[in-house]
Amino acid sequence: MATNAIDATGGGVGAKLDVSHKRVILASSLGTVFEWYDFYLYGSLAVIIGHQFFSGLNEASQLVFALLAFAAGFAVRPFGALVFGRVGDLVGRKYTFLITIVIMGLSTFFVGLLPSYGSIGMAAPVILILLRMLQGLALGGEYGGAATYVAEHAPKGKRGLYTSFIQITATFGLFLSLLVILGCKWLLGDKFDDWGWRIPFLLSSLLLAISVYIRLQLAESPVFKQMKEEGKQSKAPLTESFARWGNLKLVILALFGATAGQAVVWYCGQFYAMYFLGSTLRIDATTTQLLIAAALLIGTPFFVVFGWLSDKIGRKPVVLAGCLLAALTYFPIFKGLTHYGNPGAETARATAPVTVLADPATCHLQINLTGTQVFTSSCDVAKSYLAKRGVPYDNVAAPAGSLAKVTVGGASHEAFEGSSLSKADFAEQNKAFTTSLGASLDQAGYPAKADPARTNYPMLIVLLTLLVLYVTMVYGPIAAWLVEMFPTRIRYTSMSLPYHIGNGWFGGFLPSVSFGIVALTGNIYSGLWYPVVIAMMTFVIGLLFVSETKDVDLSD
């Protein structure tokens, strides 16, 4: 990059941020808080949304479809990055990410108005998924605009610090959504599940109005403005970003050597941890949300700490250290969550392990993606019940054609083959089987839910805060690192795509993929292999092939 400095409003050497420029950064960050609030409301309310919009399916499929609809928003984020990244490099940073927040806010507001499955049938989930996709498209254009905008205002030597405030906004958005949800639950009680869940979505209209007002006060990025005045603006950002090997190589390295690992650490440390506490350890939802909120409150300032540190020692060592620490310690941390969160389940597992002996050919992945498949083999019957009770189990291959058996300590229970049974006969035999197996599980000490009297809440907060600290290490410097990798003329487009493929696909699908692995193996910790492998991949590729960027000049 060229080394010509720009004036104090830009990113030149020696530039300083005065009060007006700090206000620009604050305004940009606040808008992103609201946008992440909108996006994560859905994730926090996935179970309730499953009941509201997928009630035509069985209970297990409701949650699966709710998570898949959540994932649909992540799936389209890279396409939003392409569309809005191109617009941002052609038209400007300011107006592009003003448009994204309007789309995001309106689509979230309409989720709160959308009739349930019971009112309009299949139209409800179809419209819901379309709204989720609109949210994903908008978010795909939001982050690159906000990060680029702030970085291009910050002085050289402080970009890591000032872009770290953008990074805080994702966690603040999640924190804000949890506070609103908990407040509505406290005020409405049982009514929250019926209709009160709509209120947090409808409140987004107020947040949208505030965000639009704030962003209308902003001026265009000085770096972009200077480039446009000098006639150096790109005429074909997509072509320059992805059809020329020199820049495409940087995009690929940014994805695999930076954002993929950052994404899985982010989603594992916040969302997967929340699902693990609630679904696996059976800690009640309100307590889970309070624990996550406490960890976020403690850990969030470290986004700024690690952003500042990256200005001193570099983006690369901070981000890669976070990936490595996460990969090395996830298994003991999550085992610690079990030990302190549901010690009854841990004790039962140690004293009376559960084993499923079955013909592998009769065992299927316990995720019903269509809502129409019925799992009736003896292996599926056994594993379905164990999965619903949150009981971990080991798999042992049995001879072909044999009925599945479940052993609990010294007790053995033979499942039944239900493929040829009528619904009434299946229900009768299933009741007899699960009643007998359930009695053995109860006797062995397997709790259906975590016992609040035995839960060590301070230690859970310590472990969850450690997970959040890993998040701050990988996420605090990532915006500055990505912005500095690419030239001004195609920066918005080039940095947005690897960020949103990493976070939208590698990170966004983490809960679904990890829980699918758990359901297949019966091991409640096996889902951690997904973030561990991706984080280690990023550590190796980033260490060997991605350059340090903290000293580059953002002006071309």
For 162-197, the pLDDT digits (tens) are 888 887 877 788 778 888 988 998 999 889 989 999
Considering the segment(s) 19-341+453-545 as one domain, its CATH architecture is: Up-down Bundle (1.20)
Range of lowest pLDDT (35-39, 61-65, 485-489):
61-65
Provide mean pLDDT across the span 302-307.
Answer: 94
Closest to 333 (Cα-Cα) out of 525, 518, 527: 525
Strand order through the sheet with 405-408 = 394-397, 354-358, 405-408, 411-414
Q: Which of 118-132, 399-413, 433-447, 509-523 has the lowest mean pLDDT?
A: 509-523
Confidence of residue 11 (pLDDT cuts 50, 70, 90): very low
Question: Quick check: 146 and 480 in contact, CB under 8 A?
Answer: no
CB of 357 closer than 8 Å to CB of 400: no
Residue 340: burial class (beta carbons within 10 Å; 0-12, 13-18, 19+): buried
Rounded (10°) CA dihedral 124, 126, 130, 136:
90
Q: Which residues of 61-80 are buried (b: 16+ CB within 10 A; e: fewer)?
A: bbbbbbbbbbbbbbbbbbbb
Kindly write down the DSSP assignment for every residue of 392-415, as one continuous string.
--EEEE--TTPPPEEEETTEEEE-
pLDDT at 517 over 90: no
Average model confidence (pLDDT) across the chain: 84
Residue 430 predicted with pLDDT over 70 = yes
Q: Structural domain boundaries of the chain?
A: 19-341+453-545, 351-444
- pLDDT given at position 208: 86
Alpha-carbon gap, residue 304 to 311, rounded angstroms: 11
pLDDT of residue 311: 94
pLDDT in tens, 369-391: 444 456 788 998 888 888 777 78
Length of the chain: 556
The mean per-residue pLDDT over the stretch 91-120 comes to 86
Distance from C-alpha of 105 to C-alpha of 103, rounded to nearest angstrom: 6
- Residues 6 or more apart in contact with residue 131 via CB below 8 angstroms: 107, 108, 110, 111, 114
d(CA 238, CA 41): 32
> Which DSSP helix (H) or strand (E) runs through 356?
strand 354-358
Calculate what percentage of the chain has a pLDDT beyond 70. 88
The helix/strand count (H/E) of the chain reads as 27, 4
Q: What is the fold of 351-444?
A: Glutaredoxin (3.40.30)
Q: What is the pLDDT of residue 2?
A: 36
Residue with tokens 């908008």: 138
Helix ranges restricted to H, 114-258? 117-120, 123-153, 159-188, 191, 198-202, 204-216, 222-229, 237-242, 245-254
351-444 shares the fold of 19-341+453-545: no
Q: Are 413 and 437 in contact (CB under 8 A)?
A: yes
